[in-house]
Amino acid sequence: MHLIPANDFETVKAGYRDVTENTPHMRQYARWVYGKHPTDEGLMSLLGRGELYLWKEGDDVAGMIAIVMGQEQAYECIPWAETLANDQVATIHLLAVCPPYQGRGLGSRMLAAAEVLAAQKGRKVLRLDVLASNLPAQRLYEKAGFSYRGKQNLYAENTGWTDFLFYEKMWERSVATVIGRNKDPEAERVLQERFGKDTVIALATTENGGPQVRYVNAHYEHRTDG
């Protein structure tokens, strides 16, 4: 129950085809059409750069996500909370949960894992874009602490010209500490007992700018807002 780098194109392709063809209301919300979005060429490019990840539940692929270190040109026009260099930004693309695992909270857990990965790589913010029509995804991102920053009308092969909404989530410092490197041994012991030895600590900010400590592992997420 964790993210691992994808390395097999056929596995990735089968997962995205399953999501595209069998997710309820796909044409209404995300509007993916395999071959237009996503495409074989796009997935192979992400694989080649090591930016595509699988979420495994036992031996099964339960979800896929692209975590890109950097941002596309379209992102440069958005009024972000802070202007950052490309090497300070990570972006999420192609977040998908396979149909048998939908409705179990995997999307939130994959976002949390992406946040930790980006922080460990020294990024200060995680950004993404989503179709204006994709209301379920917008609710997922907002619940996970992402803030809306702007809108652009862009062209995509699967939709034609349409509105995309842009979101970001910033943290106070680019630190994600795996239990065992925490400076407070007593806090470390308590967290291990309560949340498990694989717990990850990430420091983020709430919508009003206050600190938010998030304890994340493969099973659940706990937040402490202050």
Q: How sure is the predictor about 197, in pLDDT bands with cuts at 50, 70 and 90?
A: low
pLDDT at 1: 60
Residue 212 has pLDDT above 80, yes or no: no
pLDDT at 206: 42
Is the Cβ–Cβ distance between 149 and 166 less than 8 Å?
A: yes
Residue 78 has what DSSP assignment?
Answer: S
pLDDT digits (tens, 9 = 90+) for 101-121: 999 999 999 998 998 889 888
Structure tokens at 101: 């695992």
Residue whose structure tokens are 């691992």: 4
Residue 81 has pLDDT above 80, yes or no: yes
- The SS3 call for residue 28 is coil
Query: Per the CATH hierarchy, to which homologous superfamily does domain 2-170 belong?
Result: Gcn5-related N-acetyltransferase (GNAT) (3.40.630.30)
Residue 29 has pLDDT above 70, yes or no: yes
* pTM confidence score: 0.78
State the span(s) of the chain assigned CATH 3.40.630.30: 2-170
Q: How sure is the predictor about 181, in pLDDT bands with cuts at 50, 70 and 90?
A: very low
Straight-line distance from the first to the last Cα atom of the chain, in angstroms, rounded to the nearest whole number: 29
Residue 85 has pLDDT above 90, yes or no: yes
